[in-house]
Amino acid sequence: MNASTGKLSPLKWLKSREAEMTQLLGQFVLAESPSLKKSSVDRFGKIVAREWRHRDAKVKILAQRERGDHIRAEWNPRGNRSKRQVLVLGHMDTVYEQKALARMPFRISKGRAYGPGAFDMKGGLVIALFAVDALAATGAMPEKRIVFLWTSDEEIGSGSSQAVIEREARRSDAVLVLEPAQGLDGRLKTGRKALGEIEIIATGRAAHAGLNPEDGINAIEEIALQIARVSRWNQPRRGITVNAGVIEGGTRTNVIPEHARVIIDVRAARATDMRALERKFHALRPLLHGAKLEIRGGFTRPPLERKTAAALYAKARTLAKEMGIELGEAFVGGGSDGNFTAALGVPTLDGLGAVGEGAHSPNENILIRALPERAALLASLLSSI
């Protein structure tokens, strides 16, 4: 209790709940939820939905045919009729296959909790639930209606959730994304690159490599020349990267290959660079006489530019400072659903989730002692936006 006001601070309250937070994280990690396994994601979704119903949220299951169902939990403790809304975003799916738990079980060691999805981002889901508990326990109720949207397919590009995310974001004054923080000092993500995939398909002409090579047009050679050309478009300092990640072509060594293709990962820090790069790819022409080229794909996530995050970040920094926490920021190359909401011009702050290491790796883990701090930060943001 704070003697002067008679009110308990959310951080203090949350620190006394650290063990419960860790226990809930364990439950969440044990309910494996690989993006491509609908039945598993749905099973985990039921657990998440139940937690939100316990907190008197209005829970809606947004049923999906192929992907896992999304969950929309509306929390409006003051019963506000106001149209004003804040959106909290997270995903329930993980990059791991079913039974990954067998080789990376949920475990606690030296102040960290390990397991598939603990960091990316089941820790974030736990933080949201306890942030709400802390607000209820300390009476610091938000002015606005809070919508928590938990999606099922972020790790595979958000094909079934993008439209829902954008619809909710358009109604919201701010979007808070519970993706993992950057670094063990818990930096927030105030910028993310745009990203996409571009496929270059080359068609040449098959011929015998020994009998009539002059009749052939080598599709592999065409692709190799194209890769050499597009790799010169890399400008890492400007935030532009072009990476030939998958290549395929040819049948036998004594055949001049008719078909070859490459899939290229493209990223850009600025929307203008994203559009220019896409245009350059689609303007590629064959380099070998007689070869044909087809270009497919493009950017799938626009960039999260810092200007969309700046005001929220400043607010978060101030709130953290009041709790004695020094917060930093980071610009990262990876995308998230925050890219979609920022592209709509809705203020978006990302990386508010767990603090840890090793996302998408067998070593994935979170710092347990940061759980209460992150939940307190989210709670104070929710009651001050």
Interacting residues with Zn ion between 43 and 102 (CB under 5 A): none
CA 104 to chain centre: 22
Cβ 83 to Zn ion shortest distance, Å: 29
Write out the DSSP string of 49-92: HHHHHHTT-EEEEE--SSSPPEEEEEE-TT------EEEEEEE-
Q: Does 304 bind Zn ion (CB under 5 A)?
A: no
Enumerate the H helices of 187-296 as residue ranges: 219-231, 271-282
Contact 271, 241 (CB under 8 A): no
Partners of 164 in the beta sheet? none
Interface segment toward Zn ion; rule CB under 5 A; list 99-107, 113-121, 134-142, 261-269: 113-121
Q: What is the nearest approach in angstroms of Zn ion to the Cβ of residue 356?
A: 12
Nearer to Zn ion, 178 or 368 (CB): 178
Q: Segment near Zn ion (CB under 5 A), from 59-67, 119-127, 248-256, 318-326?
A: 119-127
Does 121 bind Zn ion (CB under 5 A)? Our answer is yes
> Per-residue x/- mask for Zn ion, residues 151 to 180, rule CB under 5 A?
----------------------------x-
Of residues 67 and 145, the one with the C-beta less far from Zn ion: 67
* Nearer Cβ to Zn ion (151/226): 151
Least CB distance from residue 301 to Zn ion, whole Å? 13
Shortest CA distance to 140 belongs to which of 326, 337, 318, 376?
A: 376
Per DSSP, the three-state class of 374 is helix
Here the tokens at position 292 are: 């044909």
Closest contact distance (angstroms) between CB of 186 and Zn ion is 16
Cα torsion at 308, 311, 313, 318 (round to 10°)?
180
Q: Nearer to Zn ion by C-beta: 153 or 258?
A: 153
Closest approach, Cβ 179 to Zn ion, in A, equals 5
Size of the site for Zn ion (CB under 5 A): 3
Q: Where are the alpha helices (H) located in 303-362, listed in sequence order? A: 306-322, 338-343
Selected range binding Zn ion among 55-63, 115-123, 144-152, 348-356, rule: CB under 5 A: 115-123
Q: Which is nearer to Zn ion, 120 or 278 (CB)?
A: 120
Q: Which is nearer to Zn ion, 121 or 134 (CB)?
A: 121
From 100-108, 120-128, 235-243, 305-313, span contacting Zn ion (CB under 5 A)? 120-128
Least Å distance between CB 36 and Zn ion? 15
Which residue lies nearer to Zn ion by CB, 121 or 256?
A: 121
Q: How far is the CB of 92 from Zn ion (least distance, A)?
A: 10
CB of 32 to Zn ion, least distance (A): 15
Closer to Zn ion by Cβ: residue 205 or 360: 360
Residues 139, 236: Cα–Cα separation, whole Å: 48
Closest to 166 (Cα-Cα) out of 6, 50, 338, 335: 338
- Minimum distance of Zn ion from residue 124's CB (angstroms): 8
In angstroms, rounded to a whole number, what is the distance separating the alpha carbons of residues 313 and 327?
9
Residue whose Cβ sits closest to Zn ion:
120
How far is 250 from 219, CA to CA, in rounded Å? Answer: 8
Query: Contact, 96 vs 12, CB < 8 A?
Result: no
Name the residue nearer to Zn ion (CB basis): 159 or 213. Answer: 159
Which CB atom, from 42 or from 120, has the smaller least distance to Zn ion? 120
Nearest to 68 by CA among 33, 95, 98: 33
Count other C-beta atoms under 10 Å from residue 48's C-beta.
23
CB 59 within 8 A of CB 49: yes
Establish if 120 lies at the interface with Zn ion (CB under 5 A). yes
Determine if 273 is a binding residue for Zn ion (CB under 5 A): no
**Contact residues for 347 (Cβ-Cβ < 8 A; gap 6+):** 173, 174, 175, 308, 309, 311, 312
Residue 188, beta-bridge partner list = 329
Residues 178-217 that bind Zn ion (CB under 5 A): 179
Q: Is residue 329 at the binding interface for Zn ion, with CB under 5 A as the rule?
A: no
Interaction site with Zn ion (CB under 5 A):
120-121, 179
